[in-house]
Amino acid sequence: MPMMKAAVFEKAGRIVLRERPRPEVGPSDALMRVTTTTICGTDVHILKGEYPVAPGRIVGHEPVGVIEELGSAVFGYKPGQRVIAGAITPCGQCSPCLEGHLSQCGGKAMGGWRFGNTIDGCQAEYVLVPNATANLAPIPDGLSDEQVLMCPDIMSTGFGGTESADIRIGDTVAIFAQGPIGLCATAGAKLRGATTIIAVDTVSERLAMAQRMGADVVIDYKKTDPIAEILRLTGGRGVDVAIEALGTQQTFESCLRVLKPGGVLSSLGVYSGKLTLPLDAFAAGLGDHRIVTTLCPGGKERMRRLMRVIDANRVDLGGLVTHRYKLDQIEEAYELFANQRDGVLKVAITP
């Protein structure tokens, strides 16, 4: 049986490189040879035991690669074709999919998130893509792996948060946390027509990157109270949309406190503990606020649209890749990324 190298979750605190059998292709599957992938903050939640996956699971959910083999029922593709697959791999046939909720495929919360969660993921030399006809997206000629590396998750999530919030031309938007998802939300808010974008973080490099992505104002929360400053900037009115991009009680609550009556809180963070609603900030539930959540939209059409945005030079996310590692160095890459050392934003992993 052919073998491959893969990053495997063994137990909380331990993801290691192992030899694993290369996946066998079923009728609706495609085998992708991974050429580039990356580590996500969700993978760090898995590493820390904050999100449960089965021991022995290959992790990772952001694949860029080349079609190695196609199942007999897969059509419209050919071996050797450069493709990506979204972190979310909907079947396209179940009720949630047909209702337009692709991320919730199968009717269970987060059901569309399979890679590195309920099936083996892509921090490996090969990954098996399920429902391949619905999920493989050809990479346009001229785009590099790193140019499209953010599409499967980070870009889709960040942009999805702005779409779920229905940002309109002329809106004022505050985005709390400028990690990769927050930066993509900043870029997405700009594309949707927001005219005042306020980015909050404390890492100077991330605040500088936020300005490159379209932020009009940046706030270092260790130097300035972001709630007071945002209310000052808006004349006490509050923002039309507040985007939470970290997954903590503090940032979630801060979003509520800067939101205007009738505004939208768009939540993108993955929360690993209890989340509470402060009564005053929530206006006792009478402020006509909307709280929306987004699991990154997936499927081949979503990937095609995101790659078109990049191909048309509407946004440049190449600067988000700050470090590069070989798959053989995956444990070193996790140590760096999990501890947020050396100004890391995203790492590119190449088998």
Type of residue found at 28: S
pLDDT in tens, the chain (351 residues): 899 999 999 999 999 999 999 999 999 999 999 999 999 999 999 999 999 999 999 999 999 999 999 999 999 999 999 999 999 999 999 999 999 999 999 888 888 999 999 999 999 999 999 999 999 999 999 999 999 999 999 999 999 999 999 999 999 999 999 999 999 999 999 999 999 999 999 999 999 999 999 999 999 999 999 999 999 999 999 999 999 999 999 999 999 999 999 999 999 998 888 899 999 999 999 999 999 999 999 999 999 999 999 999 999 998 999 999 999 999 999 999 999 999 999 999 999
Tell me the HSE value of 27 on the side-chain side, using a 13 A CA sphere.
1
CA dist 313 and 204 (Å) reads: 25
CB 253 within 8 A of CB 228: no
| Closest to 65 (Cα-Cα) out of 37, 33, 89, 29 | 33
Q: Is the C-alpha dihedral spanning 113, 115, 117, 122 positive or negative?
A: negative
Gap between the Cα atoms of 66 and 14, Å rounded: 29
Which structural domains are found in the chain, ordered by start?
3-150+317-350 (3.90.180.10), 155-293 (3.40.50.720)
60: nearest Cα among 118, 5, 124, 13: 124
CA 87, CA 103: separation in Å to the nearest integer? Answer: 9
Q: What is the 3-state secondary structure (H, E, C) of 218-277?
A: EEECCCCCHHHHHHHHCCCCCEEEEEECCCCHHHHHHHHHCEEEEEEEEECCCCCCCCCC
Residue with tokens 């009720």: 95
